[in-house]
Amino acid sequence: MLQVFCHVLLLLLTCFYAESCVQQHIEAQVPKMLEPGYVVSQVNLNGCGDGPLELISSDPAFTVQTDGTILVVWVIVVPRDGRSFWITVQDHTGHNWFVDVSLSTTRKVSKNAVLKRAKRRWSPPPFSIKENDNGPFPKDMEMIASDTSVNYSVYYKINGPGVTETPVGLFSVVPKSGLLRVHGTVDREQYPNIVFRAHALNSYNNQETDDSLPITVIIEDENDNAPQFSGPMDFTVQERCAMGTVVGKVEATDRDEPNTLHTKIKYSLKNGTNLFSIDGSSGVITAATNMLDRETAEKYILETEIRDMNGASNGLFNTGRAVVTLSDINDNPPTFTQSQYKGKVMENKANLLVLRIPVEDKDLKNTPNWKAVYEITKGNENGNFEIKTDPITNEGLLYVTKPLDYEKQQTANLDLMARNEAPLVGTTSTWQKVPVEIAVENEDEGPEFYAPVLVLKVKENVPNGTLIGTYTATDPETKSSKDIKYYKLTDRGSWINVMENTGELKTAMTIDRESPLVYNNTYNITVKAVDTSQKTGTGTVLILIEDVNDNVPFITKPDQVLCSKSGTGGSVLIEAKDLDQKPYSDPFTFELEGENAEQWKLTGATGTSVMLQPAKELPNDLYQVPILIKDLQGNGEEQKVSVRICDCTNEGVCMPQHFSTALGVWGVLAMLLGLLLLLLLCLLCIFVCSTKGEKLAMADDYDGNGGMLLKSNLEAPGEEVKDAMLLMSSTGADIIDSSKGGGFLEQHTIMSSNGATFGQKQTYGSGMYQNNMQGLMTTNTLSSGQYNTGMYGNSYKKHSTMSTMDMWRESGIQLDSKLAYFRGETDGRFADDILRPYGYEGVGSPAGSVGCCSILGEPESLDFLDSLGPKFKTLADVCTSKSQRGGK
């Protein structure tokens, strides 16, 4: 009995020491959210010896490194009640140890809290099955057991992926024994591992006797997938690249388990190994030579094999085609198809195509490596030729651009070189050259001037007919000027005459350097030479005109505005210009001239300008300031500058003048014109009422009332019109004698500028006749025979020789005479009654008022003369002479 006990104790000690390699339980406080790479804790492996250890996590969300570090694989949310899993530690002998890991969310632990040891849970280890297993199925895998089976009668149940979730029905459990079974084939590439949950339940009440735990089934890989090409297989490399130049890399993948022989791929080439090589482990293709030539082969197709199991014969493989294209470099210069080229051209011809020169180039067409550029390296010193490239055929096109002269050169020998737009690389070849011979053919030519352009210097203003030079031509065949005639082709100003037989050039008009026909002191003409065969040649004469001092400085802006300011601070800039050149122009000298020079002063003089400013404060007005301007030679004249001093706006412009009551010139003229029209109308009335120079008498057929004049056309009892006592002197002069009654005649007429009467007052003697009309106001006072300021007798003046004022005064004298005569007549017949009021006549007269001055109330138009009515008849009766009325 003792011996059995010792054996049991030894077994227990052995198990204890075996399990003491690692700690049995790890508790870790972690955040609620765990990120990939988060370090949860570490398994202490110090007591497990030096042999290799294998550490496996039952939860695929965690992984364990070889040093025991526990890391998070993907994002995990730790539930409130925590999360648990275990870690299997296996040594090289196959012995296993298990470490329970419990995770709880991070929180502070109360100081008074009592830490309790958690009861060890049932912890079935993970197990594995092979993928693509052929069965037979179902196949037993492992047993699971819960520690609670000691105290309870339990049965087992599983659920989750592989059971109740995809792939459904793959695993099952024997409820009573806890035996796990697999029911079909599993593909590792689809399910690398499957984790489902196991539950231990009480057989009596179906309550779980322990916490459910995850069961991890690891699917062991089988090499059932061949590697596949995953990247591009088209590569490009430059021709003649150096050996070892990387062409490209072949990419491949394998679906089997990584980091195993099942996915270790080896690359190899089946052809083209003399030109290319491939790295077996990386798939990098490199050039195996430096003689890759695009002109020999532009593309290479390489058969490439990829094989897993590191290229072992039992490995799975695939083959593909890698296409390598060689890019072009300029390793071939253009070559001429002939060793020499010949052509011909007629003399005196230009802009003609002489030759087409073909070349060959093996480089890629229509690239800078193929396109040719031609150059004339010899024989074109005079610039007679030009060569271009035909962009389509790549040929050289040789042109003659300047005429050739057969008499000077019968053959032109050229050297042409052809090169590419891109420089040569990867070759020892150089650019090629070829000789070209161009024969010049002769033709009969016209005369040629010995100098195509003749330059002559001439002073301006030379006399007409001055010989300024001779321009002759020669026959290129005979080298003689005999029988050649000369004519002028162009001469814009007709300044030069060309002598027909000699070619002499003489001035025909004054040559003016300042003329707009002269540009840059140069004037040119074209001369034509004609030989006996009517062949012609042309030449150009450039006349360089030398300046003389024939212009004085002038002011460029003679009208200036000076804004009025307080004091004398304002000034204007006076600028001058001289059409001559130096030394006949600036610098100028400025001097003030004239009587008002003391009012102004000149300051700040420069070579061509000076500042003009008032020497004292001047009122706003327009001033003429004379200034003497001289050039450097003292040649000049006095010029006037108009300076307007005024109030200015912000822009420096004179402000408009305010309205003034003073009438301008045009206002006065307008008023005079209106007054003249009024006077003409009055004169017309006077002429109608006047006689031809004899005394007029009133008609004797007066009515019973004894009035001299009858006032008619009144609609009511009329105004009293009393006659003024008018006396006539014994001498016959037009003077009213005041001793016979002291009478007076006063007339006031108020008129507007358009001639319409708006007020008139007439006073005769002691009576007053007043009439209101529209018009201009004039005042005439007749007293004691005086009219205005002049005294007039009975003299008669012819109206055609009178001025307007004389006519007006003469009309007044005539009226005075008539009135005096009428009064004299009345004295003889009605001496006892000087003033006669007129009675009411009843119905108004159709003639209206017969007063001469009543015409003024009508419009100024003279159209009434065309149709004179009853008014004129009555007036005519009044104005009838005595002889007509039967008087003496």
Do 695 and 728 meet the contact criterion of CB atoms below 8 Å apart?
A: no
User: 């009044």: which residue's tokens?
Assistant: 878
What are the pLDDT digits (tens) for 429-449?
Answer: 999 999 999 999 888 778 888
**In this structure, how many other beta carbons lie within 10 angstroms of the beta carbon of residue 31?**
12
Predicted local distance difference test score (pLDDT) of residue 870: 60
> Lowest-confidence range among 118-122, 498-502, 568-572?
118-122
Predicted local distance difference test score (pLDDT) of residue 528: 92
Nearest-10 Cα torsion for 86, 91, 96, 97:
-50
Distances (CA, A) of 845 to 505, 685, 877: 101, 20, 15
Do 31 and 79 meet the contact criterion of CB atoms below 8 Å apart?
A: no
Percent of the chain with pLDDT over 70: 72
pTM of the entire predicted model: 0.42
> Residue 373's pLDDT band (boundaries 50, 70, 90)?
very high
Predicted local distance difference test score (pLDDT) of residue 336: 94
Spell 537-546 as b/e; 16+ CB within 10 A means b: bbbbbebebe
Do 810 and 685 meet the contact criterion of CB atoms below 8 Å apart?
A: no
Do 783 and 741 meet the contact criterion of CB atoms below 8 Å apart?
A: no
Domain 228-327: top CATH class: mainly beta
> 3-state DSSP call for residue 810?
helix
Residue 719 buriedness (CB in 10 A; 0-12 / 13-18 / 19+): middle
Higher pLDDT, 802 or 86: 86
Q: Is the pLDDT of residue 154 over 50?
A: yes
User: What is the C-alpha separation between 329 and 363, in angstroms, rounded?
Assistant: 7
Geometric angle at alpha carbon 738, from 683 and 854, rounded to 5°: 25
Six-digit token string for 480 = 């003689």
**Minimal CA–CA distance to 506: which of 550, 473, 462, 476?**
462
State how beta strands 554-555 and 572-577 pair.
antiparallel
Topology classification of domain 335-440: Immunoglobulin-like (2.60.40)
Q: Is the pLDDT of residue 352 over 50?
A: yes
Average pLDDT over residues 120-131: 71
Do 241 and 325 meet the contact criterion of CB atoms below 8 Å apart?
A: no
Three-state SS annotation for 367-384? CCCCCEEEEEEECCCCCC
Six-digit token string for 63 = 């992984």
User: What is the C-alpha separation between 554 and 639, in angstroms, rounded?
Assistant: 8
User: What is the C-alpha separation between 767 and 744, in angstroms, rounded?
Assistant: 10
Do 294 and 313 meet the contact criterion of CB atoms below 8 Å apart?
A: no
> Residue 573's pLDDT band (boundaries 50, 70, 90)?
very high
Predicted local distance difference test score (pLDDT) of residue 786: 37
Domain with CATH 2.60.40.60 in the chain: 2-105, 127-220, 228-327, 335-440, 448-546, 554-646
Six-digit token string for 203 = 């057989």
Do 529 and 486 meet the contact criterion of CB atoms below 8 Å apart?
A: yes
Three-state SS annotation for 517-547? CCECCEEEEEEEEECCCCCEEEEEEEEEEEC
User: What is the C-alpha separation between 788 and 368, in angstroms, rounded?
Assistant: 114
Domain 127-220: top CATH class: mainly beta
Average pLDDT over residues 301-322: 95
> Lowest-confidence range among 190-204, 556-570, 801-815?
801-815
Six-digit token string for 595 = 């009587």
Was domain 2-105 assigned CATH 2.60.40.60? yes
Six-digit token string for 129 = 């099955």
User: What is the C-alpha separation between 872 and 888, in angstroms, rounded?
Assistant: 25
Higher pLDDT, 206 or 122: 206
What are the pLDDT digits (tens) for 276-303?
Answer: 999 999 999 999 999 999 999 999 999 9
What are the pLDDT digits (tens) for 705-741?
Answer: 444 444 444 454 444 444 433 333 333 334 334 333 4
Query: Which residues in 53-95 belong to E strands, given as ranges?
Result: 54-57, 62-64, 69-72, 76-77, 83-90
Do 106 and 28 meet the contact criterion of CB atoms below 8 Å apart?
A: no
> Lowest-confidence range among 49-63, 156-170, 499-513?
49-63
Do 487 and 473 meet the contact criterion of CB atoms below 8 Å apart?
A: no
Average pLDDT over residues 450-455: 88
Peptide bond between residue 167 and the one before it cis (omega within 30 degrees of 0): yes
Predicted local distance difference test score (pLDDT) of residue 171: 94
Average pLDDT over residues 316-335: 94
> Lowest-confidence range among 109-123, 152-166, 225-239, 403-417?
109-123
Domain 554-646: top CATH class: mainly beta
Q: Is the pLDDT of residue 38 over 50?
A: yes
| Cα dihedral across residues 478, 480, 484, 488: positive or negative | positive
**Minimal CA–CA distance to 713: which of 860, 834, 874?**
874
User: What is the C-alpha separation between 355 and 698, in angstroms, rounded?
Assistant: 127
Q: Facing residues of 774 across strands?
A: 758
Q: What is the DSSP annotation of 586-607? A: PSPEEEE-SGGGGGEEEES--S
Do 457 and 407 meet the contact criterion of CB atoms below 8 Å apart?
A: no
Q: Is the pLDDT of residue 761 over 90?
A: no
Peptide bond between residue 31 and the one before it cis (omega within 30 degrees of 0): no
**Minimal CA–CA distance to 146: which of 228, 230, 213, 75?**
213
Nearest-10 Cα torsion for 37, 41, 45, 46:
120
Q: Is the pLDDT of residue 358 over 90?
A: yes
> Lowest-confidence range among 71-80, 166-175, 352-361, 406-415?
71-80
Q: Is the pLDDT of residue 163 over 50?
A: yes
What are the pLDDT digits (tens) for 268-277?
Answer: 999 999 999 9
Length of the chain: 888
Predicted local distance difference test score (pLDDT) of residue 582: 87
Could you tell me the CATH superfamily of domain 448-546? Answer: Cadherins (2.60.40.60)
Do 474 and 480 meet the contact criterion of CB atoms below 8 Å apart?
A: yes
